[in-house]
Protein backbone atom coordinates (compact mmCIF):
# COMPACT_ATOMS: atom_id res chain seq x y z
CA UNK A 1 0.00 0.00 0.00
CA UNK A 2 1.19 3.53 -0.78
CA UNK A 3 0.35 6.70 1.10
CA UNK A 4 -1.95 8.82 -1.09
CA UNK A 5 -0.30 12.13 -1.95
CA UNK A 6 -0.92 15.28 -3.97
CA UNK A 7 2.06 17.58 -4.57
CA UNK A 8 1.68 20.88 -6.46
CA UNK A 9 3.88 23.76 -7.55
CA UNK A 10 3.07 27.37 -8.38
CA UNK A 11 6.15 28.05 -10.48
CA UNK A 12 9.84 28.64 -9.96
CA UNK A 13 11.11 32.21 -9.85
CA UNK A 14 11.54 35.12 -7.50
CA UNK A 15 8.17 35.84 -5.92
CA UNK A 16 8.27 39.18 -4.06
CA UNK A 17 8.39 38.76 -0.30
CA UNK A 18 4.98 40.41 0.08
CA UNK A 19 3.32 37.82 -2.19
CA UNK A 20 4.97 34.67 -0.87
CA UNK A 21 2.33 33.85 1.73
CA UNK A 22 -0.44 34.13 -0.88
CA UNK A 23 1.48 31.88 -3.28
CA UNK A 24 2.01 29.30 -0.54
CA UNK A 25 -1.65 29.43 0.48
CA UNK A 26 -2.71 29.01 -3.17
CA UNK A 27 -0.61 25.86 -3.34
CA UNK A 28 -2.07 24.56 -0.08
CA UNK A 29 -5.61 25.05 -1.36
CA UNK A 30 -4.77 23.37 -4.68
CA UNK A 31 -3.23 20.35 -2.94
CA UNK A 32 -6.28 20.16 -0.71
CA UNK A 33 -8.58 20.15 -3.76
CA UNK A 34 -6.63 17.23 -5.22
CA UNK A 35 -6.67 15.48 -1.86
CA UNK A 36 -10.45 15.78 -1.64
CA UNK A 37 -10.70 13.87 -4.92
CA UNK A 38 -8.43 11.07 -3.67
CA UNK A 39 -10.06 10.84 -0.26
CA UNK A 40 -13.50 10.40 -1.84
CA UNK A 41 -12.39 7.59 -4.11
CA UNK A 42 -11.44 9.63 -7.18
CA UNK A 43 -8.55 8.86 -9.52
CA UNK A 44 -5.09 10.37 -9.57
CA UNK A 45 -5.92 11.88 -12.97
CA UNK A 46 -8.94 13.66 -11.52
CA UNK A 47 -6.87 14.72 -8.51
CA UNK A 48 -4.20 16.46 -10.61
CA UNK A 49 -6.91 18.02 -12.77
CA UNK A 50 -8.68 19.46 -9.73
CA UNK A 51 -5.45 20.73 -8.18
CA UNK A 52 -4.23 22.42 -11.36
CA UNK A 53 -7.68 23.93 -12.02
CA UNK A 54 -7.53 25.64 -8.60
CA UNK A 55 -4.12 27.09 -9.49
CA UNK A 56 -5.39 28.19 -12.94
CA UNK A 57 -8.24 30.07 -11.26
CA UNK A 58 -5.84 31.86 -8.93
CA UNK A 59 -4.56 35.14 -10.48
CA UNK A 60 -1.28 34.85 -8.55
CA UNK A 61 0.08 32.31 -11.02
CA UNK A 62 0.95 32.26 -14.70
CA UNK A 63 -1.81 29.92 -15.89
CA UNK A 64 -5.47 30.52 -16.64
CA UNK A 65 -6.45 33.78 -14.89
CA UNK A 66 -3.38 36.05 -14.77
CA UNK A 67 -1.49 34.23 -17.51
CA UNK A 68 1.45 35.72 -19.40
CA UNK A 69 0.70 37.34 -22.77
CA UNK A 70 2.26 37.14 -26.22
CA UNK A 71 4.25 40.00 -27.73
CA UNK A 72 1.01 41.28 -29.27
CA UNK A 73 -0.77 41.07 -25.92
CA UNK A 74 -2.77 37.93 -26.62
CA UNK A 75 -3.56 34.88 -24.50
CA UNK A 76 -1.90 31.63 -25.66
CA UNK A 77 -2.10 28.70 -23.24
CA UNK A 78 -0.19 25.42 -22.92
CA UNK A 79 -1.17 22.40 -20.84
CA UNK A 80 -0.66 18.64 -20.56
CA UNK A 81 -1.71 15.68 -18.45
CA UNK A 82 -0.43 12.10 -18.19
CA UNK A 83 -1.62 8.92 -16.48
CA UNK A 84 1.25 6.81 -15.16
CA UNK A 85 -0.63 3.51 -15.16
CA UNK A 86 -1.91 3.57 -18.74
CA UNK A 87 0.65 6.01 -20.14
CA UNK A 88 -2.23 7.86 -21.80
CA UNK A 89 -1.29 11.51 -22.30
CA UNK A 90 -2.74 14.69 -23.78
CA UNK A 91 -1.30 18.12 -24.46
CA UNK A 92 -2.73 21.29 -25.97
CA UNK A 93 -0.53 24.19 -27.01
CA UNK A 94 -1.09 27.77 -28.15
CA UNK A 95 -4.69 27.40 -27.01
CA UNK A 96 -7.07 30.37 -27.05
CA UNK A 97 -8.60 31.79 -23.87
CA UNK A 98 -10.35 28.91 -22.09
CA UNK A 99 -10.83 29.17 -18.31
CA UNK A 100 -9.31 25.81 -17.31
CA UNK A 101 -7.03 24.39 -20.01
CA UNK A 102 -6.16 21.37 -17.82
CA UNK A 103 -9.79 20.23 -17.98
CA UNK A 104 -9.54 20.19 -21.76
CA UNK A 105 -6.40 18.04 -21.55
CA UNK A 106 -8.24 15.73 -19.13
CA UNK A 107 -11.04 15.39 -21.66
CA UNK A 108 -8.52 14.62 -24.42
CA UNK A 109 -6.66 11.99 -22.37
CA UNK A 110 -8.15 9.01 -24.22
CA UNK A 111 -8.22 10.61 -27.68
CA UNK A 112 -5.86 9.07 -30.27
CA UNK A 113 -3.92 12.34 -30.56
CA UNK A 114 -1.35 13.25 -27.90
CA UNK A 115 -0.74 16.87 -28.88
CA UNK A 116 -2.98 19.47 -30.55
CA UNK A 117 -1.83 23.01 -31.30
CA UNK A 118 -3.24 26.41 -32.22
CA UNK A 119 -6.68 26.93 -33.74
CA UNK A 120 -7.38 23.21 -34.25
CA UNK A 121 -6.70 22.70 -30.54
CA UNK A 122 -9.21 25.42 -29.65
CA UNK A 123 -11.72 24.01 -32.12
CA UNK A 124 -11.29 20.53 -30.57
CA UNK A 125 -12.01 22.06 -27.17
CA UNK A 126 -15.17 23.75 -28.42
CA UNK A 127 -16.39 20.58 -30.12
CA UNK A 128 -15.92 18.82 -26.79
CA UNK A 129 -18.01 21.19 -24.74
CA UNK A 130 -15.59 23.92 -23.63
CA UNK A 131 -16.36 27.58 -24.23
CA UNK A 132 -13.84 30.27 -25.15
CA UNK A 133 -14.07 33.40 -22.98
CA UNK A 134 -13.05 36.96 -23.86
CA UNK A 135 -9.28 37.28 -23.30
CA UNK A 136 -9.99 40.07 -20.79
CA UNK A 137 -11.44 37.45 -18.42
CA UNK A 138 -8.00 35.83 -18.10
CA UNK A 139 -5.95 39.05 -18.24
CA UNK A 140 -5.24 40.69 -14.92
CA UNK A 141 -4.01 44.22 -14.34
CA UNK A 142 -0.75 42.82 -12.93
CA UNK A 143 -0.14 40.72 -16.05
CA UNK A 144 -0.88 43.69 -18.31
CA UNK A 145 1.59 45.86 -16.35
CA UNK A 146 4.29 43.22 -16.55
CA UNK A 147 3.61 42.87 -20.29
CA UNK A 148 4.16 46.63 -20.70
CA UNK A 149 7.44 46.44 -18.80
CA UNK A 150 8.69 43.62 -21.02
CA UNK A 151 7.36 44.69 -24.41
CA UNK A 152 7.44 48.50 -24.17
CA UNK A 153 10.26 49.08 -21.70
CA UNK A 154 12.54 46.21 -22.70
CA UNK A 155 12.66 44.53 -19.32
CA UNK A 156 13.96 40.98 -19.52
CA UNK A 157 11.13 38.52 -20.12
CA UNK A 158 13.27 35.89 -18.41
CA UNK A 159 10.51 33.42 -17.85
CA UNK A 160 7.29 34.44 -16.23
CA UNK A 161 7.50 31.96 -13.36
CA UNK A 162 4.18 30.86 -12.00
CA UNK A 163 3.68 27.93 -14.35
CA UNK A 164 1.60 25.52 -12.29
CA UNK A 165 1.57 21.77 -11.94
CA UNK A 166 0.55 18.79 -9.84
CA UNK A 167 1.49 15.17 -9.34
CA UNK A 168 -0.63 12.65 -7.44
CA UNK A 169 -0.43 9.09 -6.08
CA UNK A 170 -3.20 6.81 -4.83
CA UNK A 171 -3.07 3.98 -2.30
CA UNK A 172 -2.18 1.50 -5.05
CA UNK A 173 0.83 3.60 -6.09
CA UNK A 174 -0.75 4.81 -9.33
CA UNK A 175 0.69 8.15 -10.47
CA UNK A 176 -0.38 11.11 -12.63
CA UNK A 177 1.01 14.51 -13.59
CA UNK A 178 -0.40 17.74 -15.06
CA UNK A 179 1.03 21.16 -15.92
CA UNK A 180 -0.50 24.44 -17.15
CA UNK A 181 1.00 27.77 -18.19
CA UNK A 182 0.68 31.00 -20.11
CA UNK A 183 4.34 30.60 -21.13
CA UNK A 184 6.85 33.45 -21.21
CA UNK A 185 5.73 37.06 -20.92
CA UNK A 186 5.95 38.81 -24.33
CA UNK A 187 6.60 35.53 -26.12
CA UNK A 188 6.61 35.22 -29.88
CA UNK A 189 3.14 34.29 -31.12
CA UNK A 190 3.12 30.51 -31.67
CA UNK A 191 5.91 29.91 -29.16
CA UNK A 192 5.34 26.69 -27.22
CA UNK A 193 7.21 25.81 -24.03
CA UNK A 194 7.94 22.54 -22.27
CA UNK A 195 4.69 22.28 -20.28
CA UNK A 196 2.47 20.66 -22.95
CA UNK A 197 5.25 18.40 -24.24
CA UNK A 198 5.22 14.92 -22.75
CA UNK A 199 8.71 14.06 -21.55
CA UNK A 200 9.83 17.68 -21.34
CA UNK A 201 7.71 19.55 -18.76
CA UNK A 202 5.19 16.85 -17.90
CA UNK A 203 5.56 13.09 -17.48
CA UNK A 204 4.16 10.12 -15.55
CA UNK A 205 4.71 6.38 -15.72
CA UNK A 206 4.80 3.56 -13.16
CA UNK A 207 8.17 4.80 -11.84
CA UNK A 208 7.53 8.50 -11.18
CA UNK A 209 5.40 11.55 -11.94
CA UNK A 210 6.97 14.91 -12.78
CA UNK A 211 5.83 18.48 -13.44
CA UNK A 212 8.38 21.18 -14.29
CA UNK A 213 8.54 24.96 -14.35
CA UNK A 214 11.19 27.32 -15.70
CA UNK A 215 12.86 28.29 -18.96
CA UNK A 216 10.90 26.03 -21.28
CA UNK A 217 13.43 25.97 -24.08
CA UNK A 218 16.09 24.53 -21.75
CA UNK A 219 13.69 21.90 -20.40
CA UNK A 220 12.77 20.91 -23.97
CA UNK A 221 16.38 20.68 -25.17
CA UNK A 222 17.32 18.56 -22.17
CA UNK A 223 14.19 16.34 -22.51
CA UNK A 224 13.96 16.93 -18.79
CA UNK A 225 11.05 14.91 -17.42
CA UNK A 226 11.65 11.73 -19.43
CA UNK A 227 15.35 11.68 -18.55
CA UNK A 228 14.51 12.26 -14.90
CA UNK A 229 12.14 9.30 -14.99
CA UNK A 230 14.84 7.11 -16.55
CA UNK A 231 17.37 8.17 -13.92
CA UNK A 232 14.94 7.00 -11.21
CA UNK A 233 14.09 3.84 -13.18
CA UNK A 234 17.77 2.89 -13.36
CA UNK A 235 18.35 3.29 -9.66
CA UNK A 236 19.09 6.88 -8.83
CA UNK A 237 17.57 8.11 -5.57
CA UNK A 238 14.59 10.31 -6.58
CA UNK A 239 15.51 13.46 -4.66
CA UNK A 240 19.11 13.29 -5.85
CA UNK A 241 18.02 12.61 -9.44
CA UNK A 242 15.75 15.66 -9.35
CA UNK A 243 18.53 17.92 -8.07
CA UNK A 244 21.16 16.60 -10.50
CA UNK A 245 18.83 16.95 -13.49
CA UNK A 246 17.81 20.51 -12.60
CA UNK A 247 21.44 21.49 -12.13
CA UNK A 248 22.17 19.91 -15.50
CA UNK A 249 19.39 21.97 -17.12
CA UNK A 250 20.94 25.08 -15.57
CA UNK A 251 24.59 24.28 -16.34
CA UNK A 252 24.39 22.48 -19.71
CA UNK A 253 21.18 23.88 -21.22
CA UNK A 254 21.28 27.41 -19.85
CA UNK A 255 17.93 27.50 -18.11
CA UNK A 256 16.85 27.75 -14.49
CA UNK A 257 13.63 26.41 -13.06
CA UNK A 258 12.21 23.79 -10.76
CA UNK A 259 10.14 20.63 -10.61
CA UNK A 260 8.15 18.32 -8.37
CA UNK A 261 8.50 14.54 -8.37
CA UNK A 262 6.95 11.55 -6.63
CA UNK A 263 7.34 7.79 -7.00
CA UNK A 264 4.96 5.03 -5.83
CA UNK A 265 6.59 5.11 -2.39
CA UNK A 266 8.65 8.30 -2.04
CA UNK A 267 8.24 11.42 0.02
CA UNK A 268 7.18 14.51 -1.95
CA UNK A 269 10.25 15.91 -3.73
CA UNK A 270 10.61 19.55 -4.85
CA UNK A 271 13.77 21.30 -6.03
CA UNK A 272 14.52 24.54 -7.84
CA UNK A 273 17.52 26.45 -9.20
CA UNK A 274 15.78 29.82 -8.87
CA UNK A 275 15.31 31.94 -5.77
CA UNK A 276 12.28 29.91 -4.85
CA UNK A 277 9.34 27.78 -5.96
CA UNK A 278 6.01 27.87 -4.19
CA UNK A 279 4.69 24.37 -3.61
CA UNK A 280 2.34 22.45 -1.37
CA UNK A 281 1.11 18.95 -0.65
CA UNK A 282 -1.68 16.91 0.81
CA UNK A 283 -1.61 13.50 2.48
CA UNK A 284 -4.36 11.90 4.59
CA UNK A 285 -2.29 12.82 7.68
CA UNK A 286 -1.26 16.29 6.56
CA UNK A 287 -4.40 18.04 5.43
CA UNK A 288 -2.86 20.61 3.11
CA UNK A 289 0.53 22.29 3.51
CA UNK A 290 1.86 25.22 1.46
CA UNK A 291 5.38 26.69 1.22
N1 LIG B 1 8.05 26.44 -18.44
C2 LIG B 1 7.01 27.11 -19.06
C3 LIG B 1 7.36 27.72 -20.32
O4 LIG B 1 8.54 27.97 -20.60
O5 LIG B 1 6.48 27.97 -21.09
Q: Which atom of ligand 1 is nearest to the CA of 78?
A: 5
Residues of the chain with pLDDT under 50: none
Give the pLDDT of residue 91: 98
Give the pLDDT of residue 261: 98
Give the range of the structural domain holding residue 44, as residue numbers without chain letter.
5-290
Going by CA atoms, what residue is nearest to atom 4 of ligand 1?
216
Give the pLDDT of residue 290: 86
Give the pLDDT of residue 159: 60
Q: How far is the CA of 272 from the centre of ligand 1 (A)?
A: 14
Asked about 163 being catalytic, the answer comes back as: yes
pTM, to two decimals:
0.97
Q: How far is the CA of 160 from the centre of ligand 1 (A)?
A: 8
Contact between 97 and 77 under an 8 Å Cβ cutoff? The reply is yes
Q: Which atom of ligand 1 is nearest to the CA of 214?
A: 1
Q: How far is the CA of 191 from the centre of ligand 1 (A)?
A: 10
Give the pLDDT of residue 156: 80
Q: Which atom of ligand 1 is nearest to the CA of 182?
A: 5
User: What is the rounded average pLDDT for all residues in the chain?
Assistant: 96
Ligand 1 contact via 184 beta carbon (within 6 Å):
yes
Q: How far is the CA of 289 from the centre of ligand 1 (A)?
A: 25
Ligand 1 contact via 163 beta carbon (within 6 Å):
yes
**What pLDDT digit, counting tens, does each position of 195-242 carry?**
999 999 999 999 999 999 999 999 999 999 999 999 999 999 999 999
How many separate domains does the chain show? 1
Ligand 1 contact via 216 beta carbon (within 6 Å):
yes
- Cβ neighbors of 141 (< 8 A, separation 6 or more) are none
CATH number at residue 123: 3.60.20.30
Output 34-39 pairs: Cβ under 8 A, ≥24 positions apart: 34/6, 34/8, 34/166, 34/168, 34/282, 35/4, 35/6, 35/282, 35/283, 35/284, 35/287, 35/288, 38/4, 38/6, 38/168, 38/170, 38/282, 39/4, 39/284
φ, ψ at 8 (rounded to 5°): -130, 160
Ligand 1 contact via 258 beta carbon (within 6 Å):
no
**What pLDDT digit, counting tens, does each position of 20-44 carry?**
999 999 999 999 999 999 999 999 9
Give the pLDDT of residue 158: 64
Amino acid sequence: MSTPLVLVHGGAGDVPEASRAAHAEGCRLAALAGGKILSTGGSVIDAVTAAVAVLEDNPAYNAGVGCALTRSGRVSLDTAIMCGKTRDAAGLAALDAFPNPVKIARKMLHAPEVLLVGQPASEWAERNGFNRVPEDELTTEAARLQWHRVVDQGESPNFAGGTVGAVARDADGNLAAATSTGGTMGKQSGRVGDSPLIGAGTYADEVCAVSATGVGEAFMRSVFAARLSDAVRFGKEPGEALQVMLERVRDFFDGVGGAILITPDSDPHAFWTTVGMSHGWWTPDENGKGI
